[in-house]
Amino acid sequence: MTLPDLDLRAEIVVDLDAIARNVALLKQKAGGAALMTVVKADGYGHGLVESARAARAGGADWLGAAVLEEALALRRAGDTGRVLTWLAVPGEDYTDAVEAGIDVTAYSVPQLGDIAAAARSAGRPARVQLKVDTGLNRGGATREQWPALVEAAADAEQSGAIRVTGAWSHFACSDEPDHPSNDLQEKAFAHALEALDALGLQPEVRHLSNSAGTLLRPWSAYDLVRCGIAAYGLSPAPEVVTSAELGLVPAMTARARLAMVKRLPAGAAVSYGHTWTAPRDTTVGLVPIGYGDGVPRHASSTAEVLAAGGRRRIAGLVCMDQFVVDLGDARAEPGDPVVLFGSGEDDAPTAQDWAEACGTISYEIVTRIGGRFVRRHVSTEGLVGR
């Protein structure tokens, strides 16, 4: 993608065509399974509605939203396809979701009761998927709770309050393909599905695989795979395989303009705490964004940006509104562009590069960036403003 001219202080550019192409590639990798693109957390920082439209253009059969508000926002934006949501607390009102034809997830018998009550209020059956905990030990019914949940679901379906549309679980270690828990979870999931068969429940979709499972354990696909980070062009298992090796293109570019350029003598210390000292006479540039905009403070003196024609390291601590980069002897002027991370073209760092510099994962880099950045969506395929 050729980036548009930068005329703002700082912006996030999201390439919707890249998302669509990534989704199309993932659908091929999924074989005959349907594909869900997960757009939770504002589309992993890329924009909820815009990412959803790009995913649909790439062939996504389903969209995944963590909470009810995200799923309902998709409906308000005009999405009429299948949408699954899965995270709620006791007392939440499912009525609007039931009326909107959104699939909701039940972890427990009381939660299933809340959903059934909403269905009676809405005057139509709720579309419900049952989640079993197979070893992640996070959300979902435990092995001990699962039989009661399945039995309650069968009763509620018999009464007409719900329709059981799916059963699912989530891998804990699919980014480590040889981890023994993967096989154990798959066996636990297969065993859990037997309980549905025993009571005559016939879910439309059974699903276990996330992005890493889709790419590294294709035999675990079942009827549906759920892809999140890979849809945005970042590898879910970078220590195993890179985005480039997978054919994925990072969709987000975070960039800014230099606010100031100055020459410093050797021995001059920079930013709070004077944690970085110029080892030689050097030029530094001031970038007008900071941790108030989601730039990790852990990037201090470690992460690199693309500026003045090459990779340049952050010098000193990242501040709330700004940070400094060491430009060496390169020529630079106030207003020149700085790319924090992008697609990797032109030697620009990627979100994965920043994740490694900060000791975190690319998911956190792209979802936390924001603040006073202006987000711009671009497409040569007409995906903007659909």
Rounded to the nearest 5 degrees, what angle is found at the Cα of 199, between the Cα atoms of 197 and 201? 60
Catalytic, 40? Answer yes
User: Which helix (DSSP H) or strand (DSSP E) does residue 10 occupy?
Assistant: strand 10-15
Q: How many Cα atoms are found within 13 Å in the side-chain-facing hemisphere of 132?
A: 27
Of the residues 29, 131, 232, 272, which is catalytic? 272
What is the secondary structure of 185-228 as a DSSP string?
HHHHHHHHHHHHHHTT---SEEE---HHHHHH-GGG-TTEEEES
Of the residues 40, 44, 107, 222, which is catalytic? 40
* Distance from C-alpha of 369 to C-alpha of 290, rounded to nearest angstrom: 10
Residue 173 CB contacts under 8 Å (≥ 6 apart), including other chains: 179, 181, 182
Q: How many C-beta atoms surround the C-beta of residue 347 within 10 A?
A: 11
* Distance from C-alpha of 232 to C-alpha of 167, rounded to nearest angstrom: 26
Closest alpha carbon to 319 in 371, 263, 262: 371
Catalytic sites, residue numbers: 40, 272
